[in-house]
Amino acid sequence: MQLIETPGTGERREYEMLIGGAWTGARSGKTFESVNPYTGREWARVPEADEEDVDRAVRAAREAFDEGPWGKMTGTERARLMRRLAELVAENAESLAVIESTDNGKLLREMSGQLGALPEWYYYFAGAADKIQGDTIPSHNPDFFVYTRREPVGVVGAIVPWNSPLLLLTWKPAPALAAGCTFVAKTAEQTPASTLEFARLFEEAEFPPGVFNVVTGYGVPTGSALVRHPGVDKVAFTGSTETGRLVMKDAADHIAKVSLELGGKSPNILFDDADVEAAANGVVSGIFAATGQTCMAGSRLLVQEGLHDELVETLAGKAGSIKLGNPLETETEMGPIAFREQLEKVRHYVDAGREQGAEVVHGGKARRIPRCRTVSLSSRPSSPTWTIR
């Protein structure tokens, strides 16, 4: 068994936000906690930004775009910085993965896989940075010379979810930095730490101040203030469909461009001629992976009647064999639900299914996970938390 020391064991980490190249707290002085979902303990504390802090970050991004060296850089120069960033991500991938797993409870091997692949996004789009070009267009008037020129959108406000923060963040700045945009990233309140650690790499890569800014806080007021800010030219949001509707409405008030990556209900469809064992393995990996906390989860299962009983029996057996525990342990197969509100949501759906006549064939209750000790100078046993089994 391999154990990796959990960040914050014995000592709480204190973080600040990155605004305009400076590390800073919220103007109000307010902070909030990040809780390790496996131990149930606070392990980090971050600033609670409000509208004033968001305004500072957007103004810093605007200044970097309009007046700073970033706006004057060629694509070749931007590409050089992006390749350096990719190198630093690769060098720090394992420590970033441990922080993400500590923050959201997902398996370290999943987070390690994501972080290990992350540099490729920056390498790829660095290769595109000096190849952004327009067209010359024939004109009916011989005295006219007509051409198009591609220009960056401007300041991008990125709102990131809690389940895979750095992967889902990277899909936003990697192409936008190549184009010459600047960024204000708002973390999920449940998982702020990895994005703040990631922001340090922008400093080390020597990006100009204000190109990449991070604010931490809640959806209201922090996220809503970012979406509504007139200095934001585009909003890139990943999260729930309900919140996505609000983002689109608020961004429309100042005609900001919007891209939305929202939730869904992905179906598995099985017919009587399916290989039951292979199908069951696919179903289990689709919904139990990441404790079901992924936008690609196979959250619906539609089965032809003749296969139903055998498949349910097979699935129940596989569910019972899943090893629950510390997500930092290599042999753990499923970690905890990421935060209490999410646990209550899962409980609600289990209860709703029962009320509508569904039969629970395995589990259905929150289970106390037996604790094992982490490697640390003070190897105290962790306090109990809960996950759905």
Q: At what angle do helices 75-91 and 93-104 cross, to 10 degrees?
A: 70
pLDDT of the residue at 360: 83
**Strands 182-186 and 155-159, how do they pair?**
parallel
Cα–Cα distance for residue pair 268/280, rounded to 1 Å: 10
Q: Is residue 146 within 8 Å of 135, Cβ to Cβ?
A: no
Provide the token pair at 372.
Answer: 């094992």
Q: Over its length of 389 residues, how does the chain's per-residue pLDDT go in tens digits?
A: 333 445 545 568 999 999 999 999 999 999 999 999 888 889 999 999 999 999 999 999 999 999 999 999 999 999 999 999 999 999 999 999 999 999 988 889 888 999 999 999 999 999 999 999 999 999 999 899 999 999 999 999 999 998 889 999 999 999 999 999 999 999 999 999 999 999 999 999 999 999 999 999 999 999 999 999 999 999 999 998 999 999 999 999 999 999 999 987 788 899 999 999 998 888 888 887 767 677 777 788 899 988 899 988 898 888 888 888 888 888 887 877 767 777 787 788 787 888 888 888 877 777 654 444 333 222 223 333 333 32
Cα–Cα distance for residue pair 338/105, rounded to 1 Å: 5
Cα–Cα nearest to 336, from 106, 113, 99, 112: 106
- For residue 47, what are the CA distances in angstroms to 53, 279, 347? 10, 46, 31
Query: For the chain, which residues make up each domain, given as ranges?
Result: 13-262, 264-322
Cα–Cα distance for residue pair 290/237, rounded to 1 Å: 21
Give 281's contacts (C-beta < 8 A, 6+ positions apart).
318
Q: At what angle do helices 193-204 and 75-91 cross, to 10 degrees?
A: 130
pLDDT of the residue at 377: 25
pLDDT of the residue at 7: 57
| Topology given in CATH for the domain delimited by 13-262 | Aldehyde Dehydrogenase; Chain A, domain 1 (3.40.605)
Catalytic annotation, residues: 261, 295
- For residue 282, what are the CA distances in angstroms to 93, 268, 291, 331, 383? 28, 9, 15, 20, 34
pLDDT of the residue at 370: 44
- Return left, alpha or beta for 89; rule: phi > 0 is left, psi -120 to 50 is alpha, else beta: alpha
Say what the pTM is. Answer: 0.84
pLDDT of the residue at 3: 38
Cα–Cα distance for residue pair 108/83, rounded to 1 Å: 25
pLDDT of the residue at 10: 52
pLDDT of the residue at 68: 94
